[in-house]
Amino acid sequence: AQKVTQAQTEISVVEKEDVTLDCVYETRDTTYYLFWYKQPPSGELVFLIRRNSFDEQNEISGRYSWNFQKSTSSFNFTITASQVVDSAVYFCALSEEADKLIFGTGTRLQVFP
Amino acid sequence: NAGVTQTPKFQVLKTGQSMTLQCAQDMNHEYMSWYRQDPGMGLRLIHYSVGAGITDQGEVPNGYNVSRSTTEDFPLRLLSAAPSQTSVYFCASSSQGARNTIYFGEGSWLTVV
């Protein structure tokens, strides 16, 4: 069965700290896709990244980076030098088919000045 | 959120009333879906569609109907609203399902009293 676990319910950091959000997934398929979305206080869902199961390369986009490890079924997200604007709920999601996403329960990140 | 439009943004319903949440996209995407977001539970799939005339159930379909008569529109109907359907509803679309970016609308906040 598909499942996404985000064990960290809430994380608080001070600005400029690095923070890693954990995501562990379960799937029986060899072909699948992993996503991260950001939900700021305004409520919309902002797409951050999509990764397919055949591409284990880590990715960096500015202060954001992602570590995909199939051996541990993890797709962790790191924010370097966090800023107050990073405060949001972050969701990890898994898809095996179509656009059917299985979401984790989210991690609320609070960045204090 | 480019190109996925949801209406209304806010709605209060009385128990037993019916209503339709509208979703439209102008990106000619084949895949469209509806999710609901409840506190502590992430987002859960209600219904999805892989093209005009084709719909299927997701994880939590009870109490909801959908149809896909055109590529652009994917309305979600609540037949007889219940307090348990108080939630935030998100519509999503993509061109190749999870093989491409999945875009979300800005959400519809529904309260059933």
What are B84-109's pLDDT values in tens digits?
A: 999 999 999 998 777 778 899 999 99
Q: How many CA atoms lie within 13 A of A24 on its CB side?
A: 6
Check whether B56 has a pLDDT greater than 90: yes
Instruction: Give the pLDDT score at A89.
Output: 97
Distance from CA of A3 to the nearest CA of B (A): 12
Question: In this predicted structure, what is the pLDDT of residue B1?
Answer: 46
Q: Give the span between the Cα atoms of B46 and A46, in whole angstroms.
A: 20
* B74-104: b (≥16 Cβ within 10 Å) or e: bbbebeebeeebbbbbbbbbbeebbbeebbb
The predicted model gives A77-83 an average pLDDT of 97
* A57 burial via Cβ count (<10 Å: 0-12, 13-18, 19+): exposed
Query: Chain A contact for B25, CB < 8 A?
Result: no
Residue A67: Cβ within 10 Å count: 16
What span, in angstroms and rounded, lies between the C-alpha atoms of A16 and A9?
21
Name the residue with tokens 């924010």: A79
pLDDT at A102 over 80: yes
Q: Which of A52, A93, A99 sits opposite B48 (nearest CB)?
A: A99
8 Å CB contact between A18 and A28: no
Nearest-Cα residue of chain A relative to residue B102: A99
Please report the beta strands in A9-103, taking only residues with DSSP state E, as ranges in sequence order.
10-14, 19-21, 24-26, 33-39, 46-52, 59-61, 64-69, 74-79, 88-95, 101-103
What is the SS3 assignment for B84? Answer: helix
- CB count, 10 Å around CB of A29? 12
Residues from chain B contacting residue A47 (CB–CB below 8 Å): 101-104
Map residue A17 onto helix, strand or coil.
Answer: coil
Q: What is the DSSP letter of B96?
A: B
Which of B102, B103, B106, B109 is most worth mutating to test chain A (most A CB atoms within 10 A of its CB)? B102
Asked whether B31 and B95 are in contact (CB, 8 A), the reply is yes
Q: Are B34 and B48 in contact (CB under 8 A)?
A: yes
Q: Does A47 touch chain B (CB under 8 A)?
A: yes
How does residue A98 score in pLDDT terms, banded at 50, 70 and 90?
A: low
Mean pLDDT, residues B51-65 taken together: 95
pLDDT of residue B101: 84
Quick one: which of B21, B25, B12 has its CA closest to B108? Answer: B21
Which residue in B has a C-alpha nearest to residue A45's C-alpha?
B104
Round to whole Å and give the CA distance between B101 and B113. Answer: 36
If one compares A58 and B25, the residue with the highest pLDDT of the two is: B25
Taking the Cβ of residue B103 and every Cβ of chain A, the question of whether any pair is shorter than 8 Å is answered with: yes
